[in-house]
Amino acid sequence: MKIIVQKYGGTSVGTPERIMAVAERIKTYAGKGYSVVVVLSAMGKTTDQLIELSKQITKTPSKREMDMLISTGEQVSIAMLAMALHEKGIGAISYTGTQIRVKTDGNFSEAKIESIATEKIEKSLKEKKVVIVAGFQGIDEEENITTLGRGGSDTTAVALAAVLNTRNCEIYTDVDGVYTADPRIVPNTKKHKEISYDEMLELSRLGAGVLHSRSVEFAKKYGVKITVRSSFNYEEGTVVMPKEEMVEKYIVSGITAKTDEAKITLRNLQDKPGIAAKLFEKLGEKKIYINLIVQSTGHDGMASISFSVLKKDLAKALELSEKLKEELGGSSVEAKEDIAIVSAVGVGMLSSYGVAGRIFRVLADNGINIEMITTSEIGISCCIDGKFAELATRVIHKEFIEAGA
């Protein structure tokens, strides 16, 4: 049995016409002898609309009920696609996450998949049916419905490919592959034929919305080959694969801008051992995710610390920082919401020098001040004023991609 997992995103199933077009594509694969497992997102902007709907009732919904609500979008799309395939004379059956036991931890709105039962899927495939699974959702130990985080259907698809022991996983979206930057923001972007797991993981963590970062983690761990393709044409797309199998090599393979973080600065803290430990231990206890951290060089026994947190955690992080300020001998706590974290990623950086200097130079030449910097083996990120997010992405792209280096 040659199994292929195909995931279709919101825009790809945005209208009944689009669902019929997706059914037609699936029909061609079924005709070629593939056992097709399809994972769907909710139609169009359904998930956003459901979130808006909840806001008409409360600003502080229970996390359990929120997941109960926003998981419903996928139940609509899977039933619609099953009907569309039936119309075309193709056997098909839809399943929710609960029905195929997509077991997750109990972390509502950001749950992690722990296991998926395959019996039902395998039985339906043996009956020559296309199996359609609701993405983005699972159940925890107590059978509460959970969701996997925005964009999480990609992860459902890759996890299914892993448990069904197939390397074939196609992610169909509204762009025909992974580009050197978001093609909606940067002109002259180039499409990758292939990209390594490590680069794709770094890019999606740093804000390239095209793949859910956990899907790339799963793909790397279980050797699933992800192909990102458009459901609107038949272009080849981009294959995400181990770097050893790659032919293309860039110094910088992608530029991203993340605008969902905010910066907190604590000034004039005591410059002695244990201050940073205390602050970040407390933030960690509250499950606040920290991305960038900068500590100024001590002077007169004082130092300042700046760090970035997700905007959704800002109020919590600020309250905690205010509380700790006195204990740590600090003089003030400031927050800045309008920031962007612009990053350049590429495995080629491992064996190149001068990359950081070139990034800082183009930012400087465009009057963009760098407020914080962080690096990884294959990435450099700069925190800048939010209003420069697009400009910074474009000028770094121009320097490394359009200039052909």
Nearest to 149 by CA among 70, 44, 246, 226: 70
| Selected binder of ligand ADP within 67, 74, 182, 202 (CB under 6 A) | 182
| Selected binder of Mg ion within 151, 177, 207, 346 (CB under 5 A) | 151
Q: Identity (one letter) of the amino acid at 87?
A: E
- Write out the DSSP string of 166-210: -SEEEEEESSSS-BSS-TTTSTT--B-SEEEHHHHHHHHHTT-TT
Asked if residue 170 lies in contact with residue 131, where contact means CB atoms within 8 angstroms, the answer is: no
Nearest to 128 by CA among 162, 178, 89: 89
| Selected binder of ligand ASP within 150, 167, 190, 267 (CB under 6 A) | 150
138 binds ligand ASP (CB under 6 A): no
Cβ-based nearer residue to ligand ADP, 183 or 329? 183
| Selected binder of ligand ADP within 10, 97, 138, 346 (CB under 6 A) | 10
Q: Nearest residue by C-beta to ligand ASP?
A: 153
Phi/psi region, residue 207 (left: phi>0; alpha: psi -120 to 50; beta: rest), is left
Partner whose binding site includes residue 254, from ligand ASP, ligand ADP, Mg ion, none (CB under 5 to 8 Å by kind): ligand ADP
Q: How far is the CB of 373 from ligand ASP (least distance, A)?
A: 31
208 binds ligand ADP (CB under 6 A): yes
Taking CB under 6 A as the binding criterion, the range among 150-158, 276-284, 293-301, 330-338 that sits at the site for ligand ASP is 150-158
Give the H/E segment covering residue 158. Answer: helix 153-163
Partner whose binding site includes residue 106, from ligand ADP, ligand ASP, Mg ion, none (CB under 5 to 8 Å by kind): none
209 binds ligand ADP (CB under 6 A): yes
Measured at the CA of 156, the angle between CA 131 and CA 64, to 5 degrees, comes to 110
Give the H/E segment covering residue 72. Answer: helix 72-87
Cβ-based nearer residue to Mg ion, 214 or 225? 214
Binding site for ligand ASP (CB under 6 A): 9-10, 41-42, 47, 73, 135-136, 150-153
